[in-house]
């Protein structure tokens, strides 16, 4: 039912998950030796891209390929009448992202963009807590995603490569509201654009800060949402089941300092990995027509944010 193009580092994780779910129909990769190894290991046929496009049994195609190929290949998939999963970023320009989104709309097909953190059980629980008023009105959001990492110059810079995940989180937390102001700062520590920051301001007054780095010795993957009555912390570097907690406090304009702090662990269902949830969402979108959380429209908003950001000059 599902074919994947690209069996590299991340693509292999998707191959493994789709195979475990017994919905992997075909693989394709430019490296024929790698493709043969994957085919043998997972007992899945190798097809060319053209063969995948014309195969009537394949309903959805995963593109785990370099970002520069996303638009051309996604357009071909959609024109073939198949749903498409595009790894992040959706595209490298706003015009290209708009083209892919418009084509999917025209063909009445689904787009999933691989912002996998959105499918983490802890983040899904975080959304429920915040939107139920657990911490009162949101004051600010702080996201950090940094570590020593594989630099991806083909994805422009670290914001286009990593911050897209956190933009997706912020948009979900803000109920898809678009910021009224966006500023960005990018610097090169080791090589081009490996450290960066985005500042987003929303009409409600909520501000969000997103920090990203490929060049940082401590692994940090954290989203903190602070409200009047507390802060919800999602720390993806903690052990399974321990990533989510609330720091209870009381902040107001008349009392700007913390009056008390109480840390409360929040339980959530961690039995399924985020990638498994993402695969399930893609299958459900194909069968039901209901958009996934990381749909083309949300990804397009993320590309608009990255494209419209004003440079901070220091």
pTM of the model: 0.94
What pLDDT does 253 receive?
55
Q: Which domains does the chain have, with CATH numbers?
A: 2-116+275-296 (3.40.50.720), 117-271 (3.30.360.10)
Q: How many CA atoms lie within 13 A of 264 on its CB side?
A: 15
- Between the CA of residue 304 and those of 69, 146, 261, 288, 298, what are the distances in Å? 19, 23, 38, 28, 10
Q: Kindly give the confidence (pLDDT) of every residue in the chain, 314 residues in length, as a single tens digit, with 9 standing for 90 and above.
A: 999 999 999 999 999 999 999 999 999 999 999 999 999 999 999 999 999 999 999 999 999 999 999 999 999 999 999 999 999 999 999 999 999 999 999 999 999 999 999 999 999 999 999 999 999 999 999 999 999 877 777 778 999 999 999 999 999 999 999 999 999 999 988 877 889 999 999 999 999 999 999 989 999 999 999 999 999 999 999 999 999 999 988 776 555 555 557 889 999 999 999 999 999 999 999 999 999 999 999 999 999 999 999 888 66
């Amino acid at each position: 039912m599902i074919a994947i193009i690209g069996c590299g580092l991340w693509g292999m994780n998707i191959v493994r998950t789709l195979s475990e779910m017994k919905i992997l129909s075909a693989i394709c990769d430019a490296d024929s030796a790698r493709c043969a190894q994957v085919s043998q290991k997972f007992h899945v046929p190798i097809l060319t891209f053209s063969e995948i496009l014309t195969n009537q049994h394949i309903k959805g195609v995963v593109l785990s390929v370099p970002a520069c190929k996303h638009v051309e290949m996604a357009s071909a998939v959609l024109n073939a009448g198949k749903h498409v999963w595009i790894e992040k970023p959706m595209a490298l320009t706003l015009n290209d992202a708009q083209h892919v989104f418009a084509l999917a709309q025209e063909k009445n097909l689904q787009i999933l963009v691989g912002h996998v953190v959105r499918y983490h059980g802890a983040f899904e629980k975080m959304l429920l807590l915040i939107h139920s008023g657990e911490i009162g009105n949101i004051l600010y959001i702080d996201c950090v995603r940094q570590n020593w990492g594989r630099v991806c110059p083909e994805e422009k810079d670290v914001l286009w490569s990593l911050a897209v995940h956190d933009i997706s989180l912020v948009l979900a937390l803000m109920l898809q509201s678009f910021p009224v102001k966006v500023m960005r700062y990018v610097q090169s520590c080791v090589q081009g654009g490996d450290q960066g920051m985005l500042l987003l301001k929303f009409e409600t007054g909520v501000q969000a800060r997103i920090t990203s780095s490929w060049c940082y010795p401590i692994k940090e993957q954290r989203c903190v949402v602070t409200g009047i009555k507390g802060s919800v912390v999602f720390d993806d570097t903690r052990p399974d089941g321990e990533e989510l907690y609330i720091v209870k406090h009381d902040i107001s304009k008349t009392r700007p300092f913390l009056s008390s702090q109480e840390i409360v662990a929040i339980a959530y269902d961690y039995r399924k990995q985020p990638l498994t949830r993402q695969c399930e969402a893609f299958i459900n979108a194909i069968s039901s027509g209901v958009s996934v959380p990381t749909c083309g429209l949300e990804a397009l908003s993320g590309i608009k944010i990255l494209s419209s950001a004003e440079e901070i000059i220091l």
